[in-house]
Structure 1
Amino acid sequence: MTTIFEHEEKTAPSDDTAPTGIIGKASNLIQSVAQKDITQLVLRIAVSVPFWKSGDLKWDGFLQLSEIAPLLFENEFQLHILGNTYPFPFPYVFAFGAGLGEVILPVFLVLGIFTRFAAFGILGMTAVIQLTVPTGWPVHLTWAAMALAIMAWGPGRIAVDHFLKRIYR
Structure 2
Amino acid sequence: MTDMVEAPSGSGWKLLAPVRRAEGWLASVPAALPLLALRLALAVPFYKSGLTKWDGFLQLSGGAQFLFGQEFKLHVFGAQYPYPFPTAAAYGAGTAEIVLPVLLVLGLGTRFAALALLIMTAVIQITVPEGWANFHLPWAAMALTLAVYGGGALSLDRLIGLGREKM
User: What TM-score range do you get, normalising by the shorter chain?
Assistant: 0.7 to 0.9
Any stretches of 5+ residues in structure 2 without a counterpart? Answer: 8-15, 163-167
- Aligned mates of 2:139, 2:5 — CA distance in 1: 33
Aligned position for 1:165: 161
* 1:156 and 2:161 aligned: no
Measure how far apart 1:16 and its partner are: 6.0
Question: Partner residue of 2:90?
Answer: 95
CA offsets 1:108-158 (integer angstroms, 9 cap, x no match): 001001100000010010000000000000110100000000011110011
**Equivalent residues of 1:65, 1:96 under 8 A apart:** yes
- Could you say which residue in structure 2 is the equivalent of 1:17? 4
TM-score, normalised via structure 1 length: 0.84
8 Å CA contact 1:37–1:156 kept in 2: the answer is: yes
Residue 130 of structure 2: aligned partner: 135
Instruction: Please give the alpha-carbon distance, in whole angstroms, between the structure 2 residues aligned to 1:51 and 1:101.
Output: 9
TM-score (norm 2): 0.85
Aligned to 1:39: 34
SS at match of 1:89: coil
Counterparts of residues 23-62 of structure 1 (less than 5 Å): 23-32=19-28, 34-62=29-57
Distance in 2 between the 1:84 and 1:49 partners?
31
- Cα deviation code 1:32-82 (max 9, x no counterpart): 3x4311100000000111100100000111111112211110110000000
Cα RMSD of the aligned pairs, angstroms, is 1.8
* Structure 2 equivalent of residue 126 of structure 1: 121
Structure 1: stretches of 5+ with no match in the other structure = 1-14
What residue in structure 2 maps to residue 12 of structure 1?
none
Match of 1:106 in 2: 101
Counterpart CA distance in 1 for 2:74 and 2:43 is 23
- Give the distance between the partners of 2:161 and 2:88, measured in 1 at CA: 35
Corresponding residue for residue 78 of structure 2: 83
Give the direction of change, closer, same or farther, for the CA distance of 1:29–1:91 in structure 2 (3 Å limit). same
Distance 1:18 1:65, change over 3 A: farther
Q: 1:19, 1:102 → 2: CA distance?
A: 53
Q: How many residues align?
A: 151
| Aligned counterpart, 2:13 | none
Q: CA deviation at 1:18?
A: 7.8
Task: Name the residue aligned to 1:71.
Answer: 66
Matched position secondary structure for 1:165:
coil
Identical pairs, percent: 50
* Deviation of the 1:89 alpha carbon: 0.7
8 A contact 1:18–1:24 mirrored in 2? no
